[in-house]
Amino acid sequence: MTLETNLEQRLQRLEDKQAVLELKYRYLNACDEKQPDVVAECFKRGKIDIDFGHIGQFDNREDFVSVFKALGCHEHIIDMHHAKNPVFLDLTQNSARLKISMRFQSINTQDKTSIELGGYYLDGYQKVGGRWFITQSSFTINSVKMMDFSTQENRLIYAGNCMPK
């Protein structure tokens, strides 16, 4: 292996890591900005594997986006996704696995409630035709706080390390 090839491979690896991270951030921003078409474009067409626990499990992007629209695409829902601490578990020329922490807050101005979640995504990615797509995504919750702010005194509805039953 020549130094030139080694540098090309290292540069490609860095570019692929950046592309995967930008894809994840594009997906999260599209969720916050209520852009279902952009959300769909982040996922590969055909069979995928999404497990978002209490929200549901999906094997195609269309079903997932349909639920996203029903739950999140309303003026009275304000969502904020903040991803951090990315760790690549695997990266090849055409596939990647990523663990990334996420802090999520959702405010429902109609019901006067809010929820804060902490946890992490485990995602799989595939490069198709030079472009990265999400092919697998699961979210594991490790903290939950639900609040009611319908009166002058905020009231804790629930706090724990998983969603209430």
CATH number, residue 83:
3.10.450.50
C-beta separation of 31 from 68 below 8 A: yes
What pLDDT shows up at residue 165? 87
Using DSSP, state whether 149 is helix, strand or coil: coil
pLDDT digits (tens, 9 = 90+) for 114-152: 999 999 999 999 999 999 999 999 999 999 999 999 999
Q: Exposed (0-12), middle (13-18) or buried (19+): which is 40, by Cβ within 10 Å?
A: middle
User: 26 lies in which domain range?
Assistant: 3-160
Report yes or no on 31 lying in a domain: yes
Coil vs helix vs strand at 51? strand
Backbone angles phi, psi at 47, to 5 degrees: -75, 125
More confident residue, 2 or 76: 76
Task: Tell me if 98 sits within 8 A of 135, measured CB to CB.
Answer: no
The answer to whether residue 165 is domain-embedded is no
Residue 22, in any domain of the structure: yes
Task: Give the C-alpha separation, 48 to 141, whole Å.
Answer: 21
**Domains: count for the chain:** 1
